[in-house]
Amino acid sequence: MHRIAVRINGKAYGHEVEPRLLLVHYIREKARLTGTHVGCDTGNCGACTTLLNGQPVKSCLMLAVQANGAELTTIEGLAGNGLHQIQEAFLDKFAVQCGYCTPGMILSAYALLKANPKPEEGEIREAIEGNLCMCTGYQQIVDAIGHAARTMRMSGSR
């Protein structure tokens, strides 16, 4: 067993974990934050995407012990008091159907918009290429991210 300490959505967590415990399972089972979804467990679908020190990672490909000392952001930490502008844009532009891919997709979009507040369509598509959606197709998602970028620029938020 190994002791790890992480900050998830600004809150400190510390647990004894087995060395082989995946980060996605740590988030869901130890931290009890279930917005991070388990999809393929092979890094292909992106449903488990979280932010590690501000960068998107597939938490099914990372061991919890590798995140020791890190700052994690999950979908639960994005909103604060109400929906984040990206979440609102996904609703406004009908970019959500079953919703399984949505948390990972939104966190990938958030990382993009933090780094590039005015992305071109190709840059949006590149940023979400590791996130698969079986329901919407991708045009609504791309439109939602573009809409969120405009909204965030107009409000001055990042």
How far is 75 from 35, CA to CA, in rounded Å? Answer: 6
Enter the pTM of the model: 0.94
- In this prediction, residue 61 has a pLDDT band, given cuts at 50, 70 and 90, of very high
- Fold category of 2-78 in CATH: Ubiquitin-like (UB roll) (3.10.20)
pLDDT digits (tens, 9 = 90+) for 66-109: 999 999 999 999 987 889 999 999 999 999 999 999 999 999 99
**What CATH number has the domain spanning 83-155?**
1.10.150.120
The candidate with the shortest Cα–Cα distance to 87, out of 73, 71, 107, 115, is 107
Q: Rounded distance, CA 48 to CA 35, Å?
A: 9
Give the pLDDT confidence of 13-58 residue by residue, as tens digits. Answer: 999 999 999 999 999 999 999 999 999 989 999 999 999 999 999 9
As given in the structure block, the two tokens for residue 41 are: 């467990």
User: Are 111 and 55 a contacting pair, CB within 8 Å?
Assistant: yes
In the chain, where are the structural domains located? 2-78, 83-155
What is the reported pLDDT for 156?
A: 78
Specify the pLDDT at position 57.
Answer: 97
Among candidates 68, 90, 63, which has minimal Cα distance to 79? 90
Beta-carbon contacts of 141 under 8 Å, excluding residues fewer than 6 positions away, are 90, 95, 105, 128, 133
**One fold for both 2-78 and 83-155?**
no
158 falls in which pLDDT band (50, 70, 90)? Answer: low
